[in-house]
Each structure stands twice: as C-alpha cells, then as structure tokens.
Structure 1
Amino acid sequence: MKWQRSSDKTFVGGDPRVADASSFEFVESDQDTEQRIQGIRYIATCAAVICLLYVLLYTSAGLTWLAVYNLVFAGLYTAVRLWPNRGQMRGLGIVLMGFGTTQLMANCFLFVPPNTGSHYFILLIPILSLVAIHPRDRLWWAFFSFSNLAVIVFLEWAREDFVPVFPLPHRPDQLPYWRAFAVFVTLAVVIAVFRTFHRNLHRARKELHYSYERSESLLLNILPWSIAERLKSDVETIADDFQEASVLFADLVGFTELADQHTAAETVTLLNRIFSDFDDAVDRHGLEKIKTIGDAYMVAAGVPSPRPDHVSALLDFANDLLSMIDRHNRNETTSVALRIGISTGPLTAGVIGSRKFTYDIWGDTVNMASRMESTGLPGRVQVTPAVVRGADARFQFEDRGLIQIKGKGEMQTFLLRPLESQKPPG
C-alpha cells in the first residue's frame, strides 16, 4: 500500500517540505489489489469446500433440506471464486461477506441450535472481512464485525435455552462432537488466514526496509548527512554562517567543442566518468560536493562540518583533479583541460527550495571562487591572497600580478605551482 498527497495540501509549520499526515490519503497499490483478490478467492474456495462437506454430512444423515441449503451457498461462493471481472472485486468482497453473514446467521436462527457450536463460525466474518473488504470500505467492515459479534454474544449467552425456528434433530450425546468440529474448522481457517497475513507482513516489512534504505541513500546523495538529519527532525529554515570555509570551482575547458564531435550519449558517458571520479575524490578528501553546473564542478571545504585545514584540503583536491584530467585525456585520447579557482573566507550555507531542494552556499567567498575560475588559466589553479596565507608550507604559488575581476576591479591573484615544481630538486 502507499499514500499520496490529497488535494487539500496542509503542511507542518508552513514548510511544504514536510507534509502533515492528514494531507495524505490511502492509495492501494497493484500488489495490494492482487493480494486482496487472491484473498477473496481463497476465502470463497474454503467456504465452498466447507459447504460441500456439510452437504455430504447432511445427506448421509437424511437431512436433505439442509444439504440443499448448503449446496445453494456452495454455488454462490463458487460464483464469487470464478467471477471473471477483476475490476468488480472490491464490491465482490462486500458481497462475499454478506453471503457468509446471511448463511451463518440463518443457520443459527433457523436450523442449528447454538449448543452445537454452530455460532462459532460467525467469528470468522470479522476476521475474514479484514482480508476481503477494501480499506476504504471500513464502514462495511464495522457493520459486519459488530453485527456478527453481537449475534455471537447473544447466542453464547442463550446457548442452552435458544431453540431455532426449524430445529435440527440431534442426540445430546453428539453435542461435544459437533462443538469440537465447529471449533476445529473455525480455528483452522483463522490460523490459515493469519499465516498468510504474517507471510505478507514479513514480505512487506522487507520491502519497506529496502525502500527506506534506498530513500536514505538517495537523500544522502542530495544532502550532507548532518543536514539530512536536521531536515528530518526540524522543519524550520536551515541556514548556517561559517566564518572560515573554502570554495572551489572547476570548469572543463574544451569540453563544449568535444561534445560537438560526439553523440549525446557519448558526451554524457564521458562527463559522467569524469565527474564520478571527481565524486570519489571528494569522499577521499572529506569535502562537500555542492553541485555541478553543466561541465562545471563546485566543491566546498569546512561545510557543513568546520575543519581547520579547509584551505589545504581543497588545494590537495585541486591537484588530484588535474591529475585525473590528465589520466582521462590519455585513456580517452581527448584534450580537455581543467580551469580551477579557489577562494576562502566567510560564507552562508543552507537548504533552499520546496521541491528538488538542494544544499547550497552563498556569499562573497563563493563569488570570488567563481571569478578565480573564470579568469584563470587552463590546467592551472588560480587562488586569492587569502588562500596563499591559509595554505600550509607544502604548497608553492606564483604571483600572477593584478587581474581585472568583475565587481572587484584590479586584484592580485596567485597560481598554484604544478605538482612537478613542488618536488625538491635531485
């Protein structure tokens, strides 16, 4: 079974990302429908078989009119079992419970006295109704349940004194056998139903657990773990200020021209291989991937969990990216280059949107990282003076001089020296 949002959309705390349970309604899945149809046919089959057993029993006892009575209901149950229109099964479940209620009540009030245990069969109706009746028809289930339970209580209370309209002739010494048979059949059907219910419940729990793990995995592919946990427990706006964090923008130079020479599928496959390697590197360095924009890649260090080495971690990551692009060019016989820009400083991070929401970052630090990338050189990492000051001694930089930066004017920038020039001579 599943639930879908109803037309009346109400949200907890006014946040459309977390809906109130009252805004969802029950929707029966195809699997639920199939199980209910199988349940209806199983019940109808069992009822028909039991009726036929009583036909044989009453015929051998010379009670032809009772045999005919049970034969009629055996035919009705068989008709339900063989009904060809699956679309009418919802109503047929109600009809089936109506047949059962009619037969069992008429049997008790007209023919078979309760001291034979005949009223025990009525216990089956409330239980079988859970299987046969659609959840939206809960009023029918309530009707069948309470009416049958009321009859059971009455007949049990008047078991020794109640006399049916057309009482079945019987010997007092046979009463224990009749009651034992009624109890046996009732319990056998109840056990069979609950065994089926338990098996379906176990399967549903396994499927639910798999779906939960799958949804958790998908959520953690969209949001950082700590942010996902906050989003599930707190519906208020998620926005955090970080005084020290670093941001990297990387753009594939020459990829547009390369895409023009390949099919769409080939282009997406190549880009996916490159960015998948980038994703693995993000995990290795303990960074946070923010998003991809076309053939551009955006990463942050120090968010959502602060870390003192955010600058150096991002510089190590940048060197890894350059090495990976060189490897891809050799393996794919391509000639794309990576232009990288890094900035460090304060920024704001949070979750935006009510649908397809994302964890994003804002601030001058983010804008400067974007400017460092767009004004940088292919195959190099351009950084701000703050990055140079925050990097550890392993990294060496070249002063690029003054560069015209949009929105900032002239600004001094630096280039991270390639890995080869960082190695000690000799």
Structure 2
Amino acid sequence: MARIAFPEHGTDADELTRQMADRTDGDIDWRNGRTPLYVFKGSESAAAVGKAAFMQFFTENALGGKRAFHSIGSMERDVIDMGLDLFHAPDGADGHMTTGGSESIFMAVKAARDTHRVRGSRVGTQLNMVLPESAHPAFDKAARSMEIEVRRVPLQDSLRADPEQMAAAADRQTMMMIASAPCFPFGVIDPVAAISEVAVGLDIWLHVDACVGGYLIPFAKEAGEDLPAFDFEVPGVRSISADLHKYGFCPKPASTLFFRDAGDMARGAFDLDVWANGRFVTQTIAGTRPGGAVAGAWAVLNHLGRQGYRDIARDLMANARAYRQGIEALQGYHMFAEPDLTILSFGARDLDIFAVADRLAEDGWLPGRTQDPRGMHLMLSMFHAPARDAYLADLARATEAVRRDGGSSTSKAVY
C-alpha cells in the first residue's frame, strides 16, 4: 500500500465528515449487535448522558485535575468514592482512575512489586506471580515490562482457578496471586474466597481482576442473582481492577483501580524528580488523560444510580440466558463452563466450530473465537438483545451448512 503524504492544504469539515462516514462502510455493524466484544450498551439514556459529558469536558486534561481543572479532580474523586462504597472497601482504602483494564492491571502489578521490595526483596531478585491459565494477558504484559516470572497454573474441571495448584506454585518470591471476576475466556468467577485463604496463609498480595464484572456483579446480586463474594468483603483481597467502560457503560477510556490500603497505592505511583520542571507524580502510565472520560464516568454513574444499574443487570442476565437457551437448543452445542454472568463460551461436538464462525463472518457477524478449547465466545450487552433472533437463526443456518457440506477452517482466534 502506497504511503500517503502530509496534506498541503486543509479540508472542509463537512467533507471530512463525509470521508469518515465512508470509511465506516467496512466496519462491523456494532450498533445492531454484530460484534461480540469491544462495545457495550446499558441504555440509550446512559449513552447519551456519557457522550454529552465527555464532549463538555473534551479539552480538559485529567493530569491537571489537582492544579488546574478542579472540576475534573472532584469528579474523579467522586467516581473513586462510589467504587469504594460499591466494593465494600474498609477505612483507609483508596483508588484512582486509569485509561483501561490493562493499565489498571499494570499499576496493580507495579504496586505489588514495589511493596514486595519494601518488605525486603532486593532489586534484581527474580520475583514471580501465580495466576490461573484463564487470567488476562495484561498480567503478562506487565510482567514482561518488569521482568517478573509468570506462573500460570491449570484450571479446575469447572474452568475456575484451582486454589490448591496456585498454592503449590507459590514460593517466597511470589509477590502476587490473581483471581478473575469473571475471567474473559469462560465467563466464570474464580473462587476468590478460597484463593484468599491461600494468599493470607502465605502472606501474598491477592489482586482481583474484575475489569469485566466489577460494575455488574454487585448489581446482579442486588437483582437476585446468586453470585459469590469477590471484593474487599473477602479479607485477602488487596487490590481490585474494574473497568467503567465495560459494564459501567461509561465512555472510553475509563477504568478504576482500588487498594485496600492507601499506602499500597502510594508505593505504586510514579514519583519522579529528575527534570528542570520539578517533581512529576502520576498514578498511571499515561500522563495526559482525557478529562471527558472522567466527566463521562461521573455523569453515567450518577445518571443510573443503583436502581438503574440493577434494572440493566436484570435485563442483561435475562438476555444471556435467552442466548444460552437458543444456542444449546441447536444439536451438538454445549457451554464449556457454567457461565456466571454475560459471557458465553461454547463448543461443538461433531463439527469444526471455526468453520461455522467463518460462515457467520460471511453473513456480517464478527465471530468471537477461543483457541483452547476451540470454540466461540459472546460478551453480551444490550446491543445484543435486539439481535438475538437473527444471530440464532444465522448460527442455525451456518451449522446446518457445515454439517451438510463438511469442511474445516484455518482461521485463528485473535482479539
């Protein structure tokens, strides 16, 4: 592909709008539920409120929330306080916003590493973290950046983390253990309480990755779902990551990271006094952060409140059950695990499910795939409720075609 040159002259705004609209012709029709991830919907009003708040603070920089943009600083404080309340944080807990789950996880790993060093491990000592096979690759990204050994351990038959195997994999240089609520591949909540017992017994930091479920589990429980404790109610949980731009339905990019002890958060910060302008302190990898994301999160949380989130959680769970029922009604399909929330991961016994996925792609769907085991994956929001009948009908047609015509797929599972 030829490289374009920097434009000599500017282009009219209307023409740019037209060109951008033209470029979406090849995009997946996400507004009508044809992508199984990347975008989330709670309600039309929440989306509108979040977008308006983002644009109102489009120019402000959250880096200046303490010095220049006190409005942004106060809204971020409110968002953190609401999260601390939601996650049963004790006195002395604190948190901060980030630009996404990967950054929240990175900063949690850094805080755990630096705390371990304060306790006596020397710089250069090979530290490690113990996590289930289903944990997010963001932990590996952080570990590679900080030269930490990653010890991934096998799952139980239920595809949840195995506390006994995690205990066996740990040693004196284990700086962190991880549980997911839920894990992304299978949509199941790890046994946080049992892992907590292991972590407390071995005096190891336990981080709960609730990037997917943090802003869904509490409200699903309030709506009547029987789900296990995962947050600071569990005594060994030392930090929690939870994405606002997933099931918090806030504008991107917005995540939160919480610590049982504010001292842990302080140790994890970047505190640099190395240049002419003076001391530079951030709780994030990013310096500049969009003020609009902070304002959007603040607006959506206040717009929905507990009742709004409960109502959405109830609808989400009903939608997920309807999808599951429709999928399992097709001969040969089965869930890999008993899903706890709104992620469905399923396989087929008598055909190449990737060949089915290929045919769904031809019909305009973006098929989610899992490579181990080979299957398909749905991360459902309210975008998917109106699309359910169409998805199930196309899945049935694609399945029938593959059974009739045979064939296999060389496609890969890539996110």
Q: TM-score, normalised by structure 1?
A: 0.21
Higher relative contact order (CA 8 A, sep 6+): 2
Report the TM-score, using the length of structure 2 for normalisation: 0.21
The answer to which structure has the higher helix fraction is 1
- Which protein is bigger by CA-based radius of gyration? 1
